[in-house]
Chains A and B, each alone.
Chain A
Amino acid sequence: MTEATGGPKVITVFLVDDHALFRTGVKAELARAGPVGPDTAGVTVIGEAGSVDEAVAGIGHLHPDVVLLDVHLPDGGGAEVLRRVRTALPDVVFLALSVSDAAEDVITVIRAGARGYVTKTISGRELVDAVRRVHAGDPVFSPRLAGFVLDAFAQRTGAAPVGDPELDLLTPRERDVLRLLARGYAYKEIAGELFISVKTVETHVSSVLRKTQLSNRYELSRWASDRRLV
């Protein structure tokens, strides 16, 4: 979870949200909770944007390590930013940050390439932790996202046939991990609960993220578009 490159460094963050008030709040939280620790990387906001165009220009110019991306933006939303930036800058990692509880929005941004989703009610400390984790290459699944993904991959009666089992089905172990994530367990607690290593938990979560992004399962698309959860 901490970084592998050795000494502590600073993770640069770019903030995309159309509410200036919220950006100010996040910046303050990150400044409070994100200084360099003895063995953890610091987190610093190096730029911010309030619209899709600004975001595309700013990310291209500043090359941040992590982009905190609002799901809802005028002119196309976070997914539009991802579409326009991701091919040019594959190294930039995106973490979706939103008040939206609409499953379709969240799943859309995840499928567009975001490496995780957290709700805006997250505390500053947890947010810094999430930034460090996506930067280290791990997906960040909030309990709500875990619930959405579980629901999307649920085997319902009358569900579409599975096209590619490798991509369209979750293994029982992945399902267990997701369930515990949805119950609010941290990776370490999941590892203890399932008698596996934290590394294995990370592997399972990465695999679930990959399936969520790549599965062409009709069920998944339809589910995301016609279901919104409170």
Chain B
Amino acid sequence: MTRPRARVTIPGVSTPPEHAPVPPPGPVGVPAPDPAPEPATRAVLCRGRCGRVVGGVASGIADHLGVPVLWVRMVFVVLAGLGGAGLLGYGLLWAFVPEGAGTRGRPGTAREQQQAIGLVALGVGLALAAAALGDSWSGWVTGPLGVALVGAAVVWREADETQRRRWMSGAGAVFGGGRTGMLRVLAGVGLVVAGITVFLLNQVDLGQVQFGLLAVVATLVGVAVLTVPWWLRLVRDLGEERRARIRTEERAEIAAHLHDSVLQTLALIQQQSDSGREVRRLARGQERELRSWLYGPLGYGRTGQDQPRGSLSEALAAAAGEVEDTYAVSVEVVVVGDCPADETLAPLVLASREAMVNAARHAGVGEVSLYAEVEPSEVHVFIRDRGTGFDPATVPEDRHGLADSVHGRMERHGGTVKVRTGPGEGTEVQLGMPRVESGEQT
């Protein structure tokens, strides 16, 4: 027979993504653009580490959006000219976008670095020019607060470096930058303090009390600004720790469950290894329990709300479980469709159980299969074994199992029973029960 070779859409299986439209190689002399990352997996926004000049914000955004880093930097410069908005935006992004941990991205070329430094100067110059032209919004950049800003930038950058070193070495030091790092931090602190002091000295015409208050507030602000990177890191580390704790608890729950059930059963099996029947019973019971824990409606990882309790499939599985436990056989249960196990179906479940018991006791085989199908108007259950079978005519009068528990029970409730059997052919009991329209369930 021919095997279909058509392309198949597979649920839950992602086909390999189509190749990203890689731009054709540029003309000679122009550095070829990076092969664009697959659009389906757009880079998470994080600050770049390799191509950075100040804080890595621009290269991070460029990676995220898949545009050249130069464009991003120019946008920042233009915005810096518009009332210093570019500077403010850059600062906020620096504070709140986490630093990338991987080695993603590529180191900027020397030319790009020069371009970027030129652009930084241009941006600051634009902001200053706007201030000089009397734009009150950006006036704050020109004064001593601008100096404080530069100081804060130096300290933040040093904090980034420290964090990177911490990732690389695993050390937890905050000031891990050694002597030069310490010098840079001190220089930054000096700039911030100087800037704020000069700013305050311009305000001396205020009263003494006000001046004192102002000094306290200014100090607090200075400390707050300087320690922002460490606060943010603290918050992130807390989140990280909480995730780790949840994982640990999850693992403990699984371990506890496996210990209580599987390990105990394995110990019992080792003790009883002489009795094959007992081992089979234990193993089968444990398997059933583990399955219901893993996949069942109230099992592990379920909220317990997606399936109502008391469905027919559950009732049949429970009955099969009892038979398995009692008679050390295995019952394969396959149910198609489902419905609530209301009282009209209870006789069906009981009759099914009785049929399974008969198969387990008399068929002489270790396996019984049960198939149930729920149809809109009727429920059918088939219990089958491949055992000895029997001749219905020779069943002694005093055997009530099939006659009373199955035939009688089903007929009293409007159901049907058919038995197909013969010596050596196995037995199949077919049960049918009409459904009472109790709701819209199917």
**Which residues of A line the B interface, CB within 8 A?**
79, 83, 90, 101-102, 104, 107-108, 111-113, 121, 137, 143-144, 146-147, 150-151, 154, 156-157, 179, 182-184, 206, 210, 213-214, 216, 220-222, 224-225, 228-230
B371 within 8 A of A: yes
Q: Do A179 and B373 form a contact, CB below 8 Å, given A111-B13, A184-B384?
A: yes
Question: Contact at B337–A111, with CB atoms within 8 Å?
Answer: no
A210 to B1, CA, bound (A): 12
**Is B315 interfacial (CB 8 A cutoff)?**
no
- Nearest Cβ distance between residue A186 and chain B, in whole angstroms? 9
Interface size class of B (residues with CB under 8 A): 20 to 34
Shortest C-beta distance, A178 to chain B (Å), equals: 9
Q: How far is the CA of A70 from the CA of B277 in the complex (A)?
A: 28
Task: Check if B371 sits within 8 Å of A79, measured CB to CB.
Answer: no
Cross-chain contact B8 with A230 (CB below 8 angstroms)? no
A182 touches B295 (CB 8 A): no
Complex CA distance for A79 and B371, rounded to whole angstroms: 28
Please tell me which one of the listed residues A112, A146, A150, A216 contacts residue B13 in the complex, with CB atoms under 8 A apart: A112
B428 within 8 Å of A by Cβ?
yes
**Using a CB–CB distance below 8 Å, which chain B residues touch chain A?**
1, 3-6, 8-13, 291-292, 295-296, 313-314, 317, 330, 332, 334-337, 369, 371, 373, 382, 384, 386, 428, 440, 442
* B330 partner residues in chain A, CB cutoff 8 A: 121
Measured between beta carbons, the chain B residues less than 8 angstroms from A111 are: 8, 10-11, 13
Residues from chain A with a CB closer than 8 A to the CB of B336 are 147, 150-151, 154, 182
Shortest CB-to-CB span from A210 to chain B, Å, is 6
Question: B6 to A230, Cβ gap below 8 A?
Answer: no
13 inter-chain pairs at a CB distance below 8 angstroms, sorted by A residue, are A90-B3, A144-B334, A146-B334, A154-B337, A156-B442, A183-B428, A184-B369, A213-B4, A213-B8, A214-B8, A216-B9, A221-B12, A229-B335
Known: A111-B11, A154-B336, A214-B8. 12 other contacts (CB 8 A): A101-B295, A104-B12, A111-B10, A111-B13, A144-B332, A147-B336, A183-B382, A184-B369, A184-B371, A230-B295, A230-B313, A230-B317
Distance (Å) between the CB of A158 and the closest chain B CB? Answer: 9
Q: Which residues of B contact A224 (CB under 8 A)?
A: 11-12
Q: Which residues of chain A are within 8 angstroms of B6 by Cβ–Cβ distance?
A: 214
CB pair B442 A107 closer than 8 Å:
no
Contacting B4 at CB < 8 Å: which of A102, A108, A210? A210
A129 CB → nearest B CB, Å: 14
Chain B residues, CB < 8 A from A183: 369, 371, 382, 384, 428
3 closest A-B pairs by beta carbon, nearest first, are A221-B11, A147-B334, A184-B369
- Could you say which residues of chain A place their CB within 8 Å of the CB of B371? 143, 147, 179, 182-184
Q: A107-B11, A143-B371, A224-B12 are in contact. Are A184 and B295 (CB under 8 A)?
A: no
Contact call B12/A214, Cβ cutoff below 8 A: no
Name the contact of A147 in the complex, choosing from B295, B335, B384, B386 (C-beta under 8 A): B335
**B210 shortest CB reach to chain A, Å:** 67
For B440, the chain A residues whose CB sits under 8 A away are 157
Known contacts A79-B13, A147-B335, A225-B11; A214/B4 CB under 8 A: yes
A102 adjacent to B295 (CB under 8 Å): yes
Report whether A230 and B291 are in contact in the complex, using a CB–CB cutoff of 8 Å: yes
CA distance A216 to B10 in the complex (A): 8
Enumerate chain B residues within 8 angstroms of A220, measured Cβ to Cβ.
11
Query: Chain B residue with minimal CB distance to A152?
Result: B336
Contact A83 B13 (CB under 8 A): yes
Most B CB contacts (10 A, CB to CB) among A101, A206, A213, A230 go to A230
Cross-chain contact B11 with A229 (CB below 8 angstroms): no
Report which residue of B8, B12, B291, B295 has the largest number of chain A beta carbons within 10 angstroms of its beta carbon: B12
Per the bound structure, the CA–CA distance linking A137 and B5 in Å amounts to: 15
- Chain B residue numbers with a CB within 8 Å of A121 are 330
Using CB atoms, name the residue of chain A closest to B430. A183
| Distance between Cα atoms of A229 and B307 in the complex (Å) | 11
User: Could you tell me the distance between the alpha carbons of A112 and B1 in the complex, rounded to whole angstroms?
Assistant: 19
Closest chain-B Cβ to A131's Cβ sits at a distance in Å of 18
Kindly provide the distance from the CB of A89 to the nearest chain B CB, expressed in whole angstroms: 12
